[in-house]
Structure formats: C-alpha cells, structure tokens
Structure 1
Amino acid sequence: MLLSDVAAELNVSDSQVYHLVRSGDLPAIKIGGRGQWRVERAKLEEYIQQKYDETAVWVENNPLTDRDPD
C-alpha cells in the first residue's frame, strides 16, 4: 500500500504515516529509484491489532469514573 492509502485507512495525515514508518512503529519497505515507501496490508493489520491491544490495556488501567460522586 502507498503511504497515502495507509493514511486514508487510518484517517490520519500522510505525514503522520511517514513518521510511523520512519520511527519503525509501522514496518514498511522503500522501493524504486525515488525511494517510495510501501506497507504490506498484513503489516498494517498487525499494527492496527497492536493498537487495539494497547488501548484495551490502557482502558483497563484507567477506568472511567464519575466526576460528581452523587
């Protein structure tokens, strides 16, 4: 997938996806003479699942509480 396709899938900007790739958070390959980035759909799905797992842990450790204890 092109980085722009990944951005559309995640509903984020192209620059955010580029940062994810360059930081190593989202595995990608650089191909061609102009060095265009590609992300395998399977790697994107793994990344999304990892984020779901991380979010579930965060939610469990940070329960929603009422501000008004009435």
Structure 2
Amino acid sequence: MEPRFLLLSDVAAELNVSDSQVYHMVRSGELPAIKVGGRGQWRIERARLEEYIAQKYEETAEWVRRNPLTDREPE
C-alpha cells in the first residue's frame, strides 16, 4: 500500500524535477500541500499530486491546441 502523504523529495522524484522546484510550487500555491509536525514539514497528499498531474496534462493539451506545430523546411 502506498503512503497517503509524500515528502517533497518523493514528489520531486515522481515529477523528475528538483526538490527546490517542488518547494517553490508548494510555496506559490501551485501544488496543494500541508505543514505537519512541530517543525512544520511539508507533505503532499498523493491524491493531490495525481490531480495536479492531470491538470498539467489538460493545460499542456490546451497549449498544444493553441500552438500548432507548423511544418518547417528541411535544413
């Protein structure tokens, strides 16, 4: 069974980005997270991460629709 909450480093590994990028996404509110414990460590719920990924797929698909690939002349 997978854990419900992930460390920032776990999320960074899942997304193949740096820990600092995940921290910025959390601090900016882009990726929902909670602070737990006396030292206020960040945790991201797996379900929220999956929602975030699905949202990014939708945003990317919309971007692709608005920015069609045009044929280029061979170099």
Q: Which residue of 2 aligns with 1:60?
A: 65
| Alignment deviations for residues 4-42 of structure 1 (CA, whole Å, 9 cap, x no partner) | 000000000000000000000000000111110000000
Q: Normalised by the size of structure 2, how large is the TM-score?
A: 0.89
By percentage of residues, which structure has more strand? 2
Distance 1:31 1:42 in 2: 17
AA partner of residue 42 (structure 1): A
Gap regions ≥5 residues in structure 2: 1-5
Among residues 13, 17, 20, which one is paired with 2:18 in the alignment?
A: 13
Q: Which residue of 2 aligns with 1:37?
A: 42
Structure 1 unaligned regions, length at least 5:
none
CA distance in 1, matches of 2:39, 2:18: 21
CA RMSD of aligned residues (A): 1.1
Residue 66 of structure 1 deviates from its aligned partner by 1.3
Percent identity between matched residues is 83
3-state DSSP of counterpart to 1:7? helix
The TM-score, its normalising length taken from structure 1, stands at 0.95
